[in-house]
Amino acid sequence: MADTTLDVSPVLSIATAADAPRHSAIVRWTHWITALASLALLVSGLELVVSHPRFYWGENGNVLTPALFSLPIPSSRATVPTGYAYVLPDQNGWSRYLHFEAAWVLVFTGLVYVLFGVFSGHLRKNLLPQRAERSWRALSNSVAEHVRFTALGRADASSYNLLQRLAYLVVIFVVFPLFIWTGLAMSPAFVSAIPSTASALGGRQSARTLHFLLSAALVLFVLVHVAMVWLAGFSARMTAMITGRVSAREESE
């Protein structure tokens, strides 16, 4: 009698690959909370900059102090010299409140992500460069791939390459801590309790200037991040970050 057993192993292997989780729930939740908090910080931060688009170095800075640099935009305060004959509506009240609240949401979310990443092995497995990647040649090859700015292959789209790993590590462990530090150094209440928070940076105005420059660096990082997601397959990457899984059809696109 002929063997009529149906071989379903290829189908099972495809289903298993499609159903395999891409991102854990903690990674997805912290990612989207961070995105929303960062958007709130960006919008409120822009409103705060508009109130005084001049930046200084040191402890003090005002309209009578030479600026380190100024943004070529109108201000929301008539007392700030900008060269424009009009002022913008003053939104300083709600923007300060939103900036403060969103900043603490970002801090606590970041702590949750880092603690999860350390104890679950996520940082070690997905972000720390592997032994074979710890060389200048590996880094230069990764940079060359990004400079070409072409669509990523399937293998590249499903994992982090060396340049991405280093960028995420720098943002998580260097830029964000400095971002928080410079933000606290602008708080009169916090600085009165711990004066070295501001003095170590050169003063409160130095902290404000550094805070702005770090914000610009984070905006640039986000723009590049979104561009790479688009090149890697926007639909599949968004599905993975929302549901934690990606279908075989989306993965192959």
For the stretch 36-47, pLDDT in tens is 999 999 999 999
Domain holding 129, by residue range, is 23-252
Q: Does a structural domain hold residue 186?
A: yes
Q: Is the residue at 78 inside a domain?
A: yes
13 lies in some domain:
no
What's the mean pLDDT in 112-130?
87
In a domain, 1, yes or no: no
Tens of pLDDT, residue by residue over 197-242, are 999 999 999 999 999 999 999 999 999 888 877 877 778 778 888 8
CATH code assigned at 231: 1.20.950.20
2 part of a folded domain: no
Single pTM value for the model:
0.80
Does an H or E element contain 70, and which?
A: strand 69-70
Assess if residue 223 is contained within a domain: yes
Evaluate whether residue 230 is within a structural domain: yes
**Domain count of the chain?**
1
Lowest-pLDDT range of 151-155, 187-191, 212-216, 225-229? 151-155
In a domain, 7, yes or no: no
Contact present, 212 and 55 (Cβ < 8 Å)? yes
Query: What average pLDDT does the chain have?
Result: 81
